[in-house]
Amino acid sequence: KNQVEQSPQSLIILEGKNCTLQCNYTVSPFSNLRWYKQDTGRGPVSLTIMTFSENTKSNGRYTATLDADTKQSSLHITASQLSDSASYICVVSGNNRLAFGKGNQVVVIP
Amino acid sequence: EAGVAQSPRYKIIEKRQSVAFWCNPISGHATLYWYQQILGQGPKLLIQFQNNGVVDDSQLPKDRFSAERLKGVDSTLKIQPAKLEDSAVYLCASSLDPAQLPSSYNEQFFGPGTRLTVL
């Protein structure tokens, strides 16, 4: 069983709307959680990183939250733009290893 | 600052042929990673180097995959012979020596990847 589960697998949203992506993990011990954005044909790029003591982190229109007690994280995209169309990958670090989720595929349409 | 470079960007081969990928990490990054990303999946670690030594190759199919990092800089990943299920994007990433930064914040920087199609 994958240690990082993301939902929804894919979603389509209208430009200007908000959306929230979910990440649940079972990695233990926990070190940090990153959200990556992967554009088509590109490598992943880090958006945010949170450690155990941080429960929210923003990067422009991207806001990530972390609940280390329930082992859940979310990535909220505000006022989506066409350039937000990408795969968003949740990556959890623990015990000197990284566990990757399968990604949330987001398509923003005009 | 230049990013992680990979070549080729695309490769199409027939099964049982051999193929090699090249990666040039960010200057000064001691740690280098090779990942396999199958369509619709997250990246899967194949091998991790610290300078020119192997740290983790537990998920590398060693009967057909090999990797080296001579002189602790560039790296090559080879598949010989290729199978249909090897069709994927092969990502290279690099990061600073974990000893130089708190492990909580050590970030991996990814290259654009090589898309391999095995026919």
Q: How does pLDDT run across B52-78, given as a tens digit for each residue?
A: 899 999 999 999 999 999 888 999 999
Answer whether A31 sits within 8 Å of B103, measured CB to CB: yes
The HSE-up count of residue A1 (CA atoms within 13 Å, CB side) is 7
Write b or e for each residue in B74-92: b if 16 or more Cβ atoms lie within 10 A of its Cβ, otherwise e: ebebebeebeeebbbbbbb
Answer whether A100 sits within 8 Å of B112, measured CB to CB: no
Question: Measured between alpha carbons, how far is B45 from B35 in angstroms, rounded to an integer?
Answer: 4
End-to-end CA distance of chain B: 37
**How far is B111 from chain A, CA to nearest CA, in Å?**
5
Strands (E), A4-61: 4-7, 10-14, 19-25, 32-38, 45-51, 56-59
Answer whether A102 sits within 8 Å of B41, measured CB to CB: yes
Answer whether B103 sits within 8 Å of A51, measured CB to CB: no
Query: Which residue on chain B is closest to A86 by alpha carbon?
Result: B40
Answer whether A43 sits within 8 Å of B105, measured CB to CB: no
Answer whether B110 sits within 8 Å of A43, measured CB to CB: yes
| Angle at alpha carbon of residue B67, lines to B62 and B72, rounded to 5° | 145
- Please tell me the predicted confidence (pLDDT) of residue B1: 58
Instruction: Using a CB–CB cutoff of 8 Å, tell me whether B107 touches chain A.
Output: yes
Chain A residues closer than 8 Å to B103 by CB: 31, 93, 96
Task: Find where tokens 């391999």 sit.
Answer: B116
Spell out the residues 6+ positions from residue A36 whose beta carbon is closer than 8 angstroms to its own. Answer: A44, A45, A46, A47, A88, A89, A90, A91
Question: Measured between alpha carbons, how far is B87 from A108 in angstroms, rounded to an integer?
Answer: 28
C-alpha distances in angstroms, A64 versus A25, A74, B7?
Answer: 15, 6, 33
- Please tell me the predicted confidence (pLDDT) of residue B45: 93
Nearest partner of B6 among B35, B40, B43, judged by Cα: B35
Mean pLDDT by runs of 10 across the 110 residues of chain A is 90 97 94 93 92 92 95 97 97 86 96
Answer whether B113 sits within 8 Å of A4, measured CB to CB: no
Question: Measured between alpha carbons, how far is A75 from B65 in angstroms, rounded to an integer?
Answer: 36
**How far is B118 from chain A, CA to nearest CA, in Å?**
18
Question: Measured between alpha carbons, how far is A6 from A63 in angstroms, rounded to an integer?
Answer: 16
Q: Which two tokens stand for residue A77?
A: 């995209």
- Please tell me the predicted confidence (pLDDT) of residue B35: 97
Chain A residues closer than 8 Å to B104 by CB: 31-32, 49, 51, 93
Nearest partner of A73 among A31, A9, A26, A25, judged by Cα: A25
Per-residue pLDDT of chain B (119 residues; tens, 9 = 90+): 579 999 999 999 999 999 999 999 999 899 999 999 999 889 999 999 998 899 999 999 999 999 999 888 999 999 999 999 999 999 999 998 766 665 556 788 999 999 999 99
Between A and B, how many residue pairs show a Cβ–Cβ distance under 8 A? Answer: 48
- Please tell me the predicted confidence (pLDDT) of residue B104: 56
| Angle at alpha carbon of residue B68, lines to B41 and A33, rounded to 5° | 40
Question: Measured between alpha carbons, how far is B71 from B16 in angstroms, rounded to an integer?
Answer: 30
